[in-house]
Amino acid sequence: MTDTTTRPFLASARRRVLMAALPLALSLALPMAAQAQSRDLKAGTSMAPDHPAALLLNKFSEVLAQKSGGKLKMTVHNSGVLGADMQQQQQLQAGTQDVMTTGTATMAGQIKEMAILDFPFVFQSGEEFDRTMDGAMGKLLADKAYEKGWVVLGYTHNGFRNTTNSKRPITKWEDFDGLKLRVIQNAMYIDMFKQLGANPTPMPVTEVYTALETKAVDGQENPLAQIVTMRMQEVQKFMSLTQHSINSEGLLMSRKTWDKLSKDEQAMVMAAATEAKQYKRQQLALLEKQWLEASKKAGMQVNEVSLAERERMAVRLKPVIDRQNERVGEDFARQFYAETQKQRVAAK
């Protein structure tokens, strides 16, 4: 039996143990937001402030701040302020920039397999792209990106690419003949438009408006998002809905930045990126209708290209696809096409 003279001592000892354990208990009970350190992240896009890529980054920044209790702050820089896509990709690899959105076609210079996302007539719908890239193929390409110093936080797209020019409507592939057409800095796009009879001229997207305005090129090809938000309707007369490929986009974080984050912070980043990705996907369909109407109101002559003519274009481009399949690896190409077909059948 405990002596009555020791009871005050024991009670005091219990209080000291409880007080010592209290900070640990509180730390374990704190939410993930409280575990985040204060960090200032720098994000960039080559697109204009009202482009979906910028909207995606703004949403990402907003959700990330909420999830981290304001400790993970991300400043968004638009319109190529931090450089063109390839320059920003290098900055992520160096760790001097944290986050960016980029056309995946420009990543193909370092990851050859990434080029398949922009092959002509691979996807029949944006939803098919989303399902394919949210699955095993997206993971496979993300693993290759990680080896290059990029962490893929998600894949999105900006709709199908269409053609504008100042000379004539494109109603069949023969109408490309002789057009000096700006294309993205990607070997496959150069090859593709040569095959269609155009004179492809690669350049960064930040230089396109001036090139069109000064007639350095006759036209260009881009999704409605770029055409309207970069005001190409001001310097182009014709827009033809060729829908020759989808404008795929990656949301990337620097691997050097990622590796500095705690596991809780990484989880917050991925959750915020997923929420922002879904937000952009929901908004895109509504925006595309608005952009098409805006183009017509600006005076552009807009023409659709029939399914039969798009199929003729696909046949014309088969030699290009065969060469590109060999470049990315025929086994990989077969695996990728099998997955897109699987998603196509599942959607029916």
pLDDT tens, position by position, 41-63 = 999 999 999 999 999 999 999 99
* pLDDT average, residue stretch 170-190: 94
- For 5, the 3-state DSSP assignment is coil
The verdict on residue 274 lying in a domain is yes
> How many domains, the chain?
1
Domain housing 121? 35-347
pLDDT for position 16 = 53
- Report in angstroms the alpha-carbon separations of 322 from 45, 192, 330: 32, 11, 9
226 in helix, strand or coil? helix
273 in a domain, yes or no? Answer: yes
Predicted confidence (pLDDT) per residue in 242-293, tens digit: 999 999 999 999 999 999 999 999 999 999 999 999 999 999 989 999 999 9
DSSP state of 38: P
Does residue 89 lie within any of the structural domains? yes
C-alpha dihedral over 19, 21, 26, 28, to 10 degrees? Answer: 180
- Tell me the pTM: 0.85
Burial of 305 (0-12, 13-18, 19+ CB in 10 A): buried
Residue 60 in any domain: the answer is yes
Q: What is the CATH number of the domain that holds 162?
A: 3.40.190.170
User: How many C-beta atoms lie closer than 10 Å to residue 166's C-beta?
Assistant: 14
User: Is residue 320 a part of any domain in this protein?
Assistant: yes
pLDDT at position 347 is 86
Q: Is residue 26 part of a domain?
A: no
Please indicate, yes or no, if residue 17 is contained in any of the structural domains: no
Confirm whether 2 is domain-assigned: no
